[in-house]
A and B are shown apart, each in its own frame.
Chain A
């Protein structure tokens, strides 16, 4: 047993020495390649460890803690609450259906836009692309503010409809309802979907599309039988990306509050009574779900999620 122990420690120290040697004085092209890879990935690895793995581990520990203020003991109470309490089940349901619905809507809008952008020469294309990609860098709070400006009690759209219909603007306004939140979500999600779909469209075999047209396929049939199968991996990638975005949106929902979703409830757990253990359990479930969902979908498709 002692011999085994010595042997293992000897092997570990030998491996460590070899690694250090490879990194400090590589003697072959492969070793130089390893050193380059390590150098390139080192900053991100450090960041991942300190900003990702460490807090995540702490969060998981807190979620199993018996005490609400100190990390001690072990309990699954907070997870049980998430499973058994209808309130949390409802929040989960809201989160999932809303993310799914906005994903479908975003992809439904993004596919024809990507098609138009990549298939036709449009006037002022660079301006259109700037406008379309702009929401990518817009904070969720600003997006929410824009929805209020448009659909709030004194919003432009609200006032116009009130003027035409003669109804009260407060009856028409929907910025803080589910519909307002829906528009705010897809405003943020469409540009993300476009980002992936445009890249996919650029790789579509246009000769095959023309072949289909010459064989008698209408543009719609060409899309269905030839283009769609080619963009499918990008489409799935866009769905994953957009759905995950839908699950993660917080700033917008914090302002508009149209629907109680998971991220907003995490905020409430912390803001109202500092229930950090429950918030940690919710965050852990969120992380595991998103991670598992992504792994599962990617396992059965060739899609790549670039963001």
Chain B
């Protein structure tokens, strides 16, 4: 395994800039996620790492070595696709031994390696089956075994769980997370599903419109989003207009001490996560306008006294709440995050 980095990489398709001056360093054994909405450039970034797209500007490095112009077959990357992309003219075992065969690994050794991986992924009984006869989850495991069989510099996962049902996705997510931890494989995990990224990745890069918006650990991204886009994309965020003066945050309807020294002075936006809003106590009253039953809790939209909307998470212990009810709320200075960038 190795360190992989994208240094100021830009990719243009004619006049469209798919990836714009992006720099990401992935440490040895780290699981790095790239998240963002459709068309943000995350898959293009992965393809640049794999070598399937040529870099317009910048450098791709493996262990410090410039691989920007090295073809994909010489990069030793394991690629797992959303579409599984298995070779249907081969058995599962042949699929897994294909990579080692291309790397001139001896027949016995590649067979042993494949069997070991199939056992690790709990699909050893499928060795002689045709991939077409397998379920989506089984196919994805075969794809993963095939990618790992070449002992890649980096494992690239391109939306590997899209298309699987929710229950299977949850199971596979836990298993895959554990596997990546155990194998300490340097991994780039591309997904539009922020929950998957949060639970599986050591760090996350958030992309939007070809730009890298923020890179950090899941808690950094969630609790201290760099801008409104990241705050809105990762989880549910309440973004409220405030005025900051003399370390005091004025909401118009209430005032709080600023959460630590602030660089912003004047009008600003603060983010409050719904789960940080205490419901049923406090000086501020909200009028409930919408309720969404979500099983473990109820998500509600409330109107603040100044007319701004606030998303709340209601515990079921609150009893029956209906639209039109007024609820008192409170939040602590430590639970608000001042957004410094407007991007």
Contact = CB atoms under 8 A, between A and B. Distances in A.
Pairing of A with B: yes
Interface of A: 205, 207-208, 210-219, 221, 225-226, 229-230
Given A211-B143, A214-B77, A218-B73, 10 more contacts: A207-B81, A210-B85, A213-B71, A214-B75, A215-B73, A215-B99, A215-B149, A216-B74, A217-B98, A217-B102
Contact of B102 (A205, A219, A221): A221
B78 A226 contact: no
Contacts of B73: 213-219
B146 A215 contact: yes
30 contacts: A205-B83, A205-B85, A207-B81, A210-B81, A211-B79, A211-B143, A211-B146, A212-B87, A213-B71, A213-B72, A213-B73, A214-B52, A214-B72, A214-B73, A214-B78, A214-B79, A214-B147, A214-B156, A215-B73, A215-B149, A216-B73, A216-B74, A216-B76, A216-B103, A216-B150, A225-B87, A226-B87, A226-B89, A229-B89, A230-B89
Residue of B79, B83, B85, B99 with most partner-chain A CB within 10 A: B85
Nearest to B83: A207
B314 interface: no
Interface in B113-159: 143, 146-147, 149-150, 156
B86 interface: yes
Contacts of A205: 83, 85
B50 interface: yes
A230 B76 CA distance: 25
Contacts of B77: 214
B86 A208 contact: yes
A218 B104 CA distance: 13
Nearest to A214: B79
B83 A216 contact: no
B190 to A, nearest CB: 14
A130 B79 CA distance: 38
Interface residues of B, number: 28
Contact of B81 (A211, A215, A230): A211
A64 B235 CA distance: 85
Interface of B: 50, 52, 71-79, 81, 83, 85-89, 98-99, 102-103, 143, 146-147, 149-150, 156
Given A229-B89, A230-B89, A215 B83 contact: no
Contacts of B103: 216
B212 to A, nearest CB: 24
Residue of A205, A213, A216, A221 with most partner-chain B CB within 10 A: A216
A227 B18 CA distance: 28
A215 B87 CA distance: 12
B98 A212 contact: yes
Contacts of A208: 85-88
Residue of A205, A219, A221 with most partner-chain B CB within 10 A: A205
B80 to A, nearest CB: 9
B85 A211 contact: yes
A55 B119 CA distance: 66
Contacts of A210: 50, 52, 72, 79, 81, 85
Contact of B98 (A215, A218, A219, A229): A215
A184 B147 CA distance: 48
Contacts of B143: 211
A231 B52 CA distance: 22
Contacts of B71: 213
A154 B185 CA distance: 70
A215 B102 contact: yes
Nearest to A215: B99
Nearest to B52: A210
Nearest to B85: A207
Nearest to A226: B87
A218 B73 CA distance: 6
A207 B88 CA distance: 12
Contacts of A225: 87, 98
A213 B74 CA distance: 9
A69 B256 CA distance: 113
A210 B76 CA distance: 13
The 5 closest A-B pairs by CB, nearest first: A215-B99, A207-B85, A216-B102, A229-B89, A214-B79
B163 to A, nearest CB: 13
A226 B102 CA distance: 13
Nearest to B78: A214
A226 B88 CA distance: 9
Contacts of A211: 79, 81, 85-87, 143, 146
Contacts of A216: 73-74, 76, 99, 102-103, 150
Contacts of B75: 214
A218 B52 CA distance: 13
A207 B149 CA distance: 18
Contacts of A207: 81, 83, 85
Contacts of A218: 73
B1 to A, nearest CB: 16
